[in-house]
């Protein structure tokens, strides 16, 4: 049973990969997911500037409850010109 995590922009650099798969036995809230990540990555995704999409829909960090078959995408602020 797997939960897919996607990291975009600068978060991909922090994670060292664009995608991670976590084995999960049950649905987990974001703090429990973050505990299973590298500490630097956990801090980066906890930033209030990071948006989260669960299965393609934006959600608040406090509303994340993800498990087997779910996808969480972590979206940093976009800048450009």
Which helix or strand (DSSP H or E) is residue 8 part of?
none
Q: How far is CA 15 from the centre of its chain?
A: 10
Per-residue pLDDT of the chain (81 residues; tens, 9 = 90+): 799 999 999 999 999 999 999 999 999 999 999 999 999 999 999 999 999 999 999 999 999 999 999 999 999 987 665
Is residue 23 situated within a structural domain? yes
Structure confidence at residue 43 (pLDDT):
96
Is residue 81 situated within a structural domain? no
Structure confidence at residue 79 (pLDDT):
64
Closest CA to 18 of 78, 79, 81, 76: 76
As a whole number of angstroms, the distance between CA 11 and CA 25 comes to 26
Structure confidence at residue 1 (pLDDT):
79
First to last CA, the chain: 41
CB atoms within 10 A of CB 43: 12
Domain span at 64: 2-75
Structure confidence at residue 80 (pLDDT):
61
Is residue 80 situated within a structural domain? no
Structure confidence at residue 6 (pLDDT):
98
Total domains present in the chain: 1
Lookup: tokens for 49: 């500037």
């Amino acid at each position: 049973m797997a939960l897919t995590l996607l990291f975009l922009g600068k978060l991909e650099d922090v994670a060292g990969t664009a995608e991670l798969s976590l084995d999960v036995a049950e649905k987990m809230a974001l703090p429990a997911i973050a505990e299973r990540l590298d500490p630097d990555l956990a801090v980066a995704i906890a930033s209030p500037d990071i948006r989260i999409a669960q299965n393609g829909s934006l959600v608040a960090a406090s509303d994340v409850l993800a498990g087997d078959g779910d996808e969480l995408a972590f979206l940093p602020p976009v800048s450009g010109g």
